[in-house]
Amino acid sequence: MHLDQEFIDGTDAYVWMYDPVPFWYYIAGGLILIGAIAVCLFPLWPPGVRKCVYYLSVAAAGFLGVILALAVVRFIVFVIIWVLSMGYHHLWLLPNLTEDVGFFASFWPLYHYEYRGEDTAAETDKPETDVDRVHSEDQTAGSETDSENSNSQAFEIIEKEDVDGAHETGDEKAESKKDINSEEGEEDEKDVLAEDSSCS
């Protein structure tokens, strides 16, 4: 399908996209319009309704403030524990609070603790032993042999002399075939002559 809407008599198929607007779109659009007008007419609302809306707005603002306060507090707690432990202890309260997850997933798990002490640093920075070195050499040698085998299966190196020799042998083979054919032709001629002489 393309945007060039030229109807030319040919073998191509013409496609029309039939995508009607659902009826509930009109209902939702009307409700949004009525809601916008109702918000504009807020001073004309009854006092009881305005008080309820006020309390709801304060509750929503308070909830947003609590979320922001939790984000700041969890960062402060992490920095304090990290500084006091010289970077060994990592504690995050509500680790998914600022992540791109759902609403309920933002509050679970409650905390995430990780220890990054000298043991973990020693494991990552330990020197390579002879056994590890031999094992790594064996792995590299095995990978090299595998690559050579795969290359040998895919390609074959041929010397230029071999190619020239192959051409020469091909020419020799052609000449030998010609000789064989000529000999066979001579034998056929002899047989024909012998048959003629016997018939005569």
pLDDT in tens, 25-42: 999 999 999 999 999 999
**Long-range contacts of 49-56, Cβ-Cβ distance < 8 Å, separation of 24 or more:** none
> What is the structure's pLDDT at 138?
57
Residue type, 181: N
Q: Which residue has the tokens 């290359």?
A: 151
Task: Return the pLDDT at 9.
Answer: 78
Residue 73 near residue 94 (C-beta atoms within 8 A): no
With beta carbons less than 8 A apart as the criterion, state whether 94 and 107 touch: yes
Neighbours of 94 (CB within 10 A): 19
Give the type of residue at 98: T
Using CA atoms, how far apart are residues 194 and 184, in angstroms rounded to an integer?
15
Closest C-alpha among 82, 85, 84, 89 to residue 113: 89
| CA separation for the pair 200, 198 (Å, rounded) | 5
Q: Spell out the alpha helix ranges (H) of 100-155.
A: 118-125, 130-154
Residue ranges in the chain modelled with pLDDT below 70? 1-2, 119-200
Q: What angle do CA 49, 55, 59 make, to 5 degrees?
A: 145
> Pairing state of beta strands 89-93 and 111-115?
antiparallel
Query: Which pLDDT does position 125 carry in this prediction?
Result: 54
In angstroms, the CA 71 to CA 107 distance is: 11
